[in-house]
Amino acid sequence: LAQALLPSSLLTALLNSASQQHSFAMSLRCVGFCGVDDSVDVEMLKLISSRFPQAEFGVLFRDGKDGMPRYASKAWVERLADAAATAMPPMRLAAHLCGTHIADLLEHGDTSFVRERLLPLGFRRIQLNATQINGAKLTDYTKAAARLKELIATVPEAEWIVQANEETQELWQPLANTLTPPSNAALLFDASCGTGKMSADFLPLPRNGIRCGYAGGLNPSTIVKAIRALRTGVAKNGVIWLDMESGVRSVVDGKDTFDVAKALSVCKSLEAEGWEMIQSAESDVPPPPLPPNVKVSGHPLLAHKLTLMRDRSTPPREFRSLLREVTTHLGYEATAHLSTGERSDVVSPVGPVPSNQAVRLTDSVALVPIMRSGLGMVDAMLELLPNAVVHHVGMFHAGGGQPIEYYSRLPRDSACDLAFILEPTIATSATVNATIGKLKGWGARRIVVLSVIVSRRGLFELGDKHPDVEVCAVSVDHLLTDDGFVFPGVGDVGDRQFGTPAGNPTSKSVYARPQIMAAVEHPRTCSSSNSRTSSPGPVSGGGLCSPSLGPQHAPITRVLGDHGVILDTLDIAEPESAEPSATQLTTHDGAYGPAPVRMDWGAASPALRGPVVATSRHPNQRNAIGAHSGGYSIYRALAVASQNLNEAYTPKLGLTTPVARIGPFAKWFDKKAIVTIDPFGHAISEGFAPWIEKGYDIRPTIAVTKAHIELPECREALRLNRLQADGSVLSADGQSFVTKAAIEPVWYLPGVAERFGVSEQRLRESLFKETNSMYPELVTRKDLKLFLPPIGGMTVYIWGDPEKIPDESVELTVRVHDECNGSDVFGSDICTCRPYLTHAIEECIKTAQRGGTGVVVYFRKEGRALGEVTKYLVYNMRKRQEGGDRASEYFNCTKEVAGVTDTRFQVLMPDVLHWLGVTKIHRFISMSDMKHDAVVAAGIKIVERVEIPPEMVPKDAQVEITAKVFAGYHSGKAYEAAKDKAALDAVRGREYTSATAYGVSVREGGGALGAASEAK
């Protein structure tokens, strides 16, 4: 640990940094009681929590031990979670993971247990007991440390705790060594490795500010000695927590049980010692002074009224009154330095008042309450400044990321001299800092912040970013809770004022955790199947079947088989189709109104999962952000606006069902395998019949049909005998017969984020920002996990029988092709796109004729997903650069124009192959390493890679193919020459002159032969 300890000079800087949360005297975040189990009634734990809200209850999770002493059963954990959610205040829960859970997380990166089990149950702290005594078996701690860093970033809603001891050094030391540790990472120093042995010496706190706790041998008889030693020793000036397991166990009737009496004894001892120990004036390490722009009132009357506000039993009416009174007193102090001017027109009852004794306020003043908590301060300030204008700013901080602004109407060109920001509490200062920045940009000349309670961290952050802004406050509290509240604070001021759930202890089920609707089977009798259906006989599941649909929706074909088992429609809420009374700019999760249709991505059947609801007809029941058809939704809007389309029209889907059976496959039910398309998108009238029968407007996102394709290249191949007509795959006149599927993107945001190794929050914020705020629900609706992005989808072309694709013994040829309109459609020779595409089609035809299957997936990713305009700009740069269009500068030109060489991100591409059931590709028609590596990483085997024949490469495309081969793309022996640096420099394409006249603007390139010829 000595390597993790920073120099004392840096410690001083850290103590003065706004990012630190030290209270400058050792304080306890909480005390953890690990190993709660079925031996204790959850209501007893609830009572302890109500008396000592600092108590945290830890549940041990280890495979094969459910229901054993110290390892709670699943049913008991459910009861605990329900009790925790309905407690007031909510109980603290921590999950202590052991056994195979450690390998799942730190070797395989599998967060499903945390995301799908622990977080929904209310566990917000996840401790990793990565020691042998806890059943953990890690083969490489260094790699595990790297994986841990990824977990911390991708699951920011959880605080990740590492049990720190000698055995786990390689895992936790990187966190202790880094200068800026993640805010949701923590260390538990436990030299006993969970055995309960008392530590002789406590390790010092790392000086980088990472959250820390201590464990080992703590019990009712040692707790006082331990906390005193920590407060005067290594944890002095820190904020820690304590944890114990064996110390709160007893043997009762021969059974190892959790001892409630011991837990209560520990809490009482800690209360007597003080949860928060304020440093004495004689301390040798005084806290850093408050920033010079801060004024904290020491008035005893305000301290008295603040105490009444802190009391959680104070009802909303009294809380509002107290807030007004406190604001009035605070306002007097904040307005002490208002600018004044003389008046010469004042006459008192006894005569004229001299101008030096008559004054007027000269500043134009604006009151800026940050809604909604700041509203309670407005009336009191208006009584002091009745001529002030009020400008409301709606902004909130959802935790992680930037604050979200939902309302602002600051008048243009009407900035004030003095703006008072009204914000009752300041925790991290993120929201108030954003408001200050907005007011400065507006033109406010001077800004003063009025706040009842501020955190020390918030003050330093505000002072660092805006040292010119004055802050007037009643109290400075030292700590922040895990969920971002000032501690001890007053809670959520908005809720406390207006009696909304979190501020009203009498409100029912305020803190109840979300309930996951379980599948309830209702046996019902089915008639014989439709003679035209392709479903193989009766489905399983106790007689369940699709409800009767009207003829306009009844599927003419069925492709889901046993997975078409559905729930009775009585389990489905009635659709709401009422016209909203106002246009909503956005919606918020947890607010009245939104009640999205359930969506359990990756569930065992479409009915258990739920449909994608993204039409405008059910605004409150949508479970997806965005609209169907991507960019084409704009044309739908034009049709509605011009009254060419009735927006209430519902498509008739009965005859639109697939012409071929694709799936279901195992990957359809793996929420990590397919995250960019809805695998059931082609079978909604079959899989989601109950919702359609109820009246929900559900649209397909996949359509499967058949076609005859006629290409001049196929006719030429017939003429040259490269292809042979057989009448079933290829006709004598060059027509090939295909099954094709059009697919629109449906993104499961948690899965997409995981693919890119970023947090879901980071992904949402980036999508919101880079679409210029088109989709505010990306940041306001964390409950909506689906996004229908406004991008092009893809088309799958299949030669041969689609049902043979999953059979690894049957030959499969595949090309994944990204759109190139200029070449694919119009034959531009600057690239190899159309030649490679037609070559792939020819190979697919041959494979189908041999009894196999050929597949071409055509993605709408024009210009490497940079767009056609960007691509053409790159063309111009390539053709006009000094030295001509040469292979050595091929990639650089794209980067110079776009800032990046490629944004196709092939990591998302294999989803469609999983949808098709592909597990093995015999011939992969591609030279791209990015595509190859993405497919292999997805678990799909590739036997052979096939490059484009050199004779098919157009003359001007020699620049592209040479650059790619030299860069390491797969190539055969025919391209050996392109790997030579001299060849890279020699290849030239056409050049564009500086002239724009038609006849002299182009020089013909030499292709593989050398420089361009003179202009003609």
The per-residue pLDDT for 512 is 36
Question: What is the pTM assigned to this prediction?
Answer: 0.66
Q: Which of 492, 678, 824, 902 is catalytic?
A: 902
**Is 748 within 8 Å of 785 (Cβ atoms)?**
yes
pLDDT score at 372: 86
The values of phi and psi at residue 727, to 5°, are 85, -15
Would you state the pLDDT for residue 778? 93
Q: Is the dihedral of CA 342, 348, 352, 354 positive or negative?
A: negative
Predicted pLDDT of residue 517: 35
CB 226 within 8 A of CB 192: no
Catalytic status, residue 446 = no
Confidence (pLDDT) at 536: 33
d(CA 740, CA 25): 69
pLDDT of residue 559: 80
d(CA 934, CA 906): 6
Q: Which residues of 705-733 are buried (b: 16+ CB within 10 A; e: fewer)?
A: eeeebebebbeebbeeeebebeeebbbee
pLDDT for 586 equals 80
Q: Could you tell me the two tokens for 913?
A: 């192959």
Query: How many other β-carbons are positioned within 10 Å of the β-carbon of residue 801?
Result: 16
Residue 618 DSSP symbol? -
Asked if residues 192 and 164 have their Cβ atoms less than 8 Å apart, the reply is: no
Query: What would you measure as the largest C-alpha separation in the chain, in angstroms?
Result: 119
- Residues of the chain with pLDDT below 50 are 1-24, 279-285, 503-547, 569-570, 1007-1016
Q: What is the pLDDT of residue 546?
A: 44
Q: What is the pLDDT of residue 853?
A: 97
Which of 559, 544, 811, 523 is closest to 668 using CA atoms? 559
The continuous run of DSSP H or E covering 360 comes out as: strand 359-361
Q: What pLDDT, on a 0 to 100 scale, did the predictor assign at position 312?
A: 82
* Catalytic status, residue 902: yes
Q: Are 795 and 738 in contact (CB under 8 A)?
A: no
Q: Residues 211, 904, 988, 1003: which is the catalytic one?
A: 904
- How far apart CA 404 and CA 67 sit, in angstroms, is 44
Determine whether 791 is exposed, middle or buried from the number of CB atoms within 10 Å of its CB (0-12, 13-18, 19+).
middle
